[in-house]
Amino acid sequence: MPGFELFGDEERKQVNEVLGTGILMRYGFDGPRKGIWKAVELEKAITQTFGSKYAQLVSSGTAALTTALQGLGVGYGDEVIMPAFTFVASFEAVISVGATPVLVDIDDTLTLDPAAVKAAITPKTKCIMPVHMCGSMADLDALKSICQEYGLSLLEDACQSIGGTYKGKYLGTIGDAGTFSFDFVKTLTCAEGGVVMTDREDVFVHADGYSDHGHDHKGADRGADLHPFVGYNFRISELHAAVGLAQIAKLETFLGLQRKHHAILKETLSSIPGISFRRIPDPAGDSCTFLSWFLPTEELTRAAIAEMKSAGILGGNFYWFDNNWHYIRKWDHLKEAKTLSGLHPEHRAAVIKSATADFPASDAVMGRCVSTLVSLLWTEEQVREKGHAMKAAVLKAMEKEKVSA
Ligand SMILES: Cc1ncc(COP(=O)(O)O)c(C=O)c1O
């Protein structure tokens, strides 16, 4: 997945152009910047590459989610339906705007189960936020039709799925708004950064102002800008945007390598008896950052993990079920609504109620799931070797389980 694996002269050249002017801020300083506007250029490249009408760069994927929620008018008292399997940033953003994350079950797509979403809708629901985890997508047709039926916004957290598509459209450009993260381990990296994409002018205007203290960005004199609403500072710097410009030019190369390596690994693992793979609503659109696979039981999956560990080949394999950051089971801070300054009692009670629910359907999926990170740097031979070593470890675990049964 990570674009940093193929970092090179292109990134250095872009950054040096910014250093050459000394103007590291994306706004203002029109004279001394000598025509160099890296953030503006990257926003243009994003709209051209991914096909959204508007793109607003910000300082992180978390900031992008927060900005998008504000842009969509989601705030105090509102509920946002989101999956129990995601990175903590998704609920952090929801809580930061005063809304309640309503966690619901995922299915074998590793993303929102549309039936669970429908069952969670209340009069307070304002937004559905699918998270396209590990490179692949949610069932967007089903979620869109729920949004239409109930008059809700669709915000795609596509932070982990840059370059993935659904029925020919890029993930992150299908809902009312969508976000990417450009942090250091994402498919495209700026070191830190993120973007809000939308076709809605109102959402864009809000995102543009909100991420820069409410500036309306209408005049040439920043000091004379008006502030139609209270904003924040989620600006990206010119240095970060410069790195992103070099990276976005390599997107097709990254995706091509990911897809090639993913296919070889999948083919190698396919011959393991009982193995199955994540369901992909549109298989052609998988960005292939990870290969996610299932064994028939949690016990067997744990045994396979232990075997891979003792064989020294566990690196790059993620057992999210036990992970502190990506699955509800270990989000104790959320379950206790532990924030530094406290939440309004009603908000706190709503957060705790949602986070302490049981998620048996998600547990049944996540307990059996391993995601293998697909590297850009592997040679074909190395992918095959990796696949064969993983297969041998899984078969050994199966054999041991059979003996002890
Ligand atoms: C699904 C998801 N959403 C949001 C984020 C937040 O992105 P950032 O690290 O740029 O704040 C991440 C980062 O890992 C993520 O995986």
In this predicted model, what pLDDT tens digit does every residue of 89-100 receive, in sequence order? 999 999 999 999
Does any ligand 1 atom lie closer than 6 A to the CB of residue 59?
Answer: no
* 159 Cα to the center of ligand 1, angstroms: 5
Bridge-partner residues for 212, per DSSP?
Answer: 233
Distance, in Å, from the CA atom of 258 to the CA atom of 375, rounded to the nearest integer, reads 7
Q: What are phi and psi of 371, to 5 degrees?
A: -110, 125
* 252 Cα to the center of ligand 1, angstroms: 22
Banded pLDDT at 44 (limits 50, 70, 90): very high
Select from 59, 62, 65 the residue to mutate for testing ligand 1; criterion: most ligand atoms less than 8 Å from CB.
62
Does any ligand 1 atom lie closer than 6 A to the CB of residue 130?
Answer: no
Cβ neighbors of 366 (< 8 A, separation 6 or more) are 85, 106, 320, 321, 327, 329
The pLDDT assigned to 220 comes to 85
Q: What are phi and psi of 172, to 5 degrees?
A: 95, -10
Task: From the CA of 194, give the closest atom in ligand 1.
Answer: 10
The pLDDT assigned to 1 comes to 62
* 194 Cα to the center of ligand 1, angstroms: 9
* 61 Cα to the center of ligand 1, angstroms: 5
| Residue 139, burial from CB neighbour count under 10 angstroms (0-12, 13-18, 19+) | buried
The pLDDT assigned to 219 comes to 87
**Mean per-residue pLDDT of the chain:** 97
> Could you give the percent of the chain with pLDDT greater than 90?
97
In this predicted model, what pLDDT tens digit does every residue of 156-173 receive, in sequence order? 999 999 999 999 999 999
Distance, in Å, from the CA atom of 179 to the CA atom of 57, rounded to the nearest integer, reads 10
Quick one: average pLDDT of 284-298?
A: 98
Does any ligand 1 atom lie closer than 6 A to the CB of residue 72?
Answer: no
Does any ligand 1 atom lie closer than 6 A to the CB of residue 159?
Answer: yes
**Positive or negative, the Cα torsion across 360, 166, 74, 93?**
positive
In this predicted model, what pLDDT tens digit does every residue of 98-138 receive, in sequence order? 999 999 999 999 999 999 999 999 999 999 999 999 999 99
Query: What tokens appear for 248 in the block?
Result: 């976005």
Distance, in Å, from the CA atom of 137 to the CA atom of 316, rounded to the nearest integer, reads 21
Does any ligand 1 atom lie closer than 6 A to the CB of residue 160?
Answer: yes
* 181 Cα to the center of ligand 1, angstroms: 6
Looking at ligand 1, which residue's alpha carbon is closest to its atom 8? 61
Does any ligand 1 atom lie closer than 6 A to the CB of residue 158?
Answer: no
* 196 Cα to the center of ligand 1, angstroms: 13
In this predicted model, what pLDDT tens digit does every residue of 207-226 receive, in sequence order? 999 999 999 999 889 999 99
The pLDDT assigned to 403 comes to 79
Q: How far is CA 47 from CA 88, 209, 226, 296, 323, in A?
A: 27, 19, 26, 42, 34
DSSP code at position 289: S
Task: From the CA of 133, give the closest atom in ligand 1.
Answer: 1
Select from 112, 133, 159 the residue to mutate for testing ligand 1; criterion: most ligand atoms less than 8 Å from CB.
159
In this predicted model, what pLDDT tens digit does every residue of 376-403 receive, in sequence order? 999 999 999 999 999 999 999 999 988 7
Select from 57, 85, 181, 234 the residue to mutate for testing ligand 1; criterion: most ligand atoms less than 8 Å from CB.
181
* 160 Cα to the center of ligand 1, angstroms: 7
User: Which residue type, as a one-letter code, is found at position 250?
Assistant: K
Reference 78, options 380, 347, 392; nearest CA is: 347
Q: Where are the beta strands (DSSP E) in 211-330?
A: 276-277, 290-294, 317-318
User: What torsion, rounded to 10 degrees, do the Cα atoms 231, 233, 237, 241 define?
Assistant: -50
Distance, in Å, from the CA atom of 90 to the CA atom of 132, rounded to the nearest integer, reads 11
**Coil, strand or helix at 288:** coil
The pLDDT assigned to 3 comes to 79
For residue 405, is pLDDT > 80? Answer: no
Residue with tokens 């064994």: 295
Does any ligand 1 atom lie closer than 6 A to the CB of residue 181?
Answer: yes
Task: From the CA of 63, give the closest atom in ligand 1.
Answer: 11
Q: How far is CA 202 from CA 50, 80, 220, 227, 354, in A?
A: 20, 20, 22, 16, 30
Reference 261, options 288, 285, 282; nearest CA is: 288
* 179 Cα to the center of ligand 1, angstroms: 9
Cβ neighbors of 364 (< 8 A, separation 6 or more) are none
Does any ligand 1 atom lie closer than 6 A to the CB of residue 183?
Answer: yes
Banded pLDDT at 283 (limits 50, 70, 90): very high
Select from 82, 179, 183, 192 the residue to mutate for testing ligand 1; criterion: most ligand atoms less than 8 Å from CB.
183
In this predicted model, what pLDDT tens digit does every residue of 228-255 receive, in sequence order? 999 999 999 999 999 999 999 999 999 9
